[in-house]
Amino acid sequence: MYCDKSDEQTWLAYKENLGEKILQFFRIFSNKVGQLTLASFCKCTACTNVEQLKLKIVVHSGRAVLYQIGNFIELSGPDVIVVHRLLKNSVLSDEYILLTESAYADLAFPDELVERSRERYDDVGTIETYVYFPPEPEYSTPDPDAQAALPTIFVETLRSEIRAEYTEVATAPEKGFHFHTGRPLARLLGYHDKWLLGLPERSIESFAGTGNPFSLGRLRPGERIVDVGCGAGLDSLIAARMVGPTGRVIGVDMTPAMREKARTSAADLGLDNLEIREGYAEELPIPDEWADVIISNGVVNLCPDKQAVFREMYRVLKPDGRLQIGDILVQKPVPEAAKLDIDLWAG
């Protein structure tokens, strides 16, 4: 960065906050990387390696000569050379803020944040430096028997945002979303073509799952199935065909536009063994020990109280029942602040 120090008063006012701004920039970058790591379930190389992104900042205070080349202003001089040399320092870390002694004095970094060091270069000599290392993220170990309740107003806001998002998936599936949908997604997840044969396109086009519950085991004729978060009904329709007329399927969803699509498709196919009900995964409108199998596809990750979801599944399942769930997993604890970020849940 460059700041004109010729105006002493302006410089004094500017530098008072500059150190904190550099630290803030560093923290914002690290937090954003953390958010992207937690929010993404894309399997491309860039997304799976996003947590490897690191930031190194070198800060020096000195003099420079400015000259213009075309539309660009360039810096030159001995102090600019110092900065370039410091880019090849000996700090054994992938992320840090490295300050020269003059920068440290000008920006008044708190002593407790930095470690003193020294860099030796053949052409510019020995340079006294101060290094700031970001603290390791602190994650509390979750209590397996307890989950902190999210504020009621947050839960309702979250559900409203998710409902709005999936209303669009139902009513405008051609729009394009940050997740895959429709037939291409079904093929990607290993759905057999024969499962989709003859099914109404309205339910296929609004399919937005994240896995393949049927890959965990074929449903048997006569079984009772609950589809938690059935959406436009693709999995419920497939399940209803698998269990046949002696079986029964109940799909549960909180989004009216999705339920309407699922009901219309079931009626078009004459599937009397399929019923679509309004409800939340945390409060399933199903009797105790009713289901032989519970299926769910890309829904549990959107539920604010996952323990409540699994308690409900346990209640509804028969003692020898089965769970067949396709969903998203994160492999590290989610920071409490991230749990209250609506964009990470719904976006």
- Tens of pLDDT, residues 111-150: 667 788 888 888 888 888 888 887 765 444 445 444 556 6
Please compute the mean of the pLDDT values over residues 170-174 and round it to a whole number.
93
Structure tokens at 107: 């920006």
Q: Is there a domain that residue 329 lies in? A: yes
The pLDDT value recorded for residue 40 is 59
The pLDDT value recorded for residue 21 is 82
Q: Does one domain contain both 40 and 104?
A: yes
CATH of the domain at 304: 3.40.50.150
Q: Does one domain contain both 99 and 174?
A: no
Altogether, the residues listed in the chain come to a count of 347
Q: Does one domain contain both 62 and 184?
A: no
pLDDT digits (tens, 9 = 90+) for 180-234: 999 999 999 999 999 999 999 999 999 999 999 999 999 999 999 999 999 999 9
Q: Is there a domain that residue 147 lies in? A: no
| Number of structural domains found in the chain | 2
Burial class (CB in 10 A: 0-12, 13-18, 19+), 260: middle
Q: Is there a domain that residue 142 lies in? A: no
Domain that includes residue 125, residue range: 8-132
Q: Does one domain contain both 91 and 185?
A: no
Between 263 and 176, name the one with better pLDDT.
263
Q: Does one domain contain both 106 and 19?
A: yes
Between 150 and 308, name the one with better pLDDT.
308
Please compute the mean of the pLDDT values over residues 152-158 and round it to a whole number.
81
Q: Does one domain contain both 178 and 236?
A: yes
Residue 288 — very low, low, confident or very high, per pLDDT cuts 50/70/90? Answer: very high
Residue 61 — very low, low, confident or very high, per pLDDT cuts 50/70/90? Answer: confident
Q: Is there a domain that residue 275 lies in? A: yes
Q: Does one domain contain both 82 and 197?
A: no
Q: Does one domain contain both 223 and 269?
A: yes
User: Average per-residue pLDDT in the chain?
Assistant: 86
Q: Does one domain contain both 91 and 62?
A: yes
Q: Does one domain contain both 195 and 278?
A: yes
Q: Does one domain contain both 126 and 194?
A: no
C-alpha dist (Å) from residue 199 to 1, 115, 196, 203, 281: 60, 65, 5, 8, 25
Please compute the mean of the pLDDT values over residues 268-274 and round it to a whole number.
97
Element (H, E) at 69: strand 65-69
Q: Is there a domain that residue 237 lies in? A: yes
Domain boundary among 101, 132, 163: 132
Domain boundary among 132, 164, 187: 132
Q: What percent of the chain has pLDDT over 90?
A: 46
Q: Is there a domain that residue 145 lies in? A: no
- pTM of the entire structure? 0.61
Q: Does one domain contain both 51 and 199?
A: no
Residues 6+ apart with CB under 8 A from 177: 165, 168, 169, 208
Do the Cβ atoms of 284 and 226 come closer than 8 Å?
yes
The pLDDT value recorded for residue 32 is 77
**Most confident listed range (60-64, 98-102, 146-150, 278-282):** 278-282
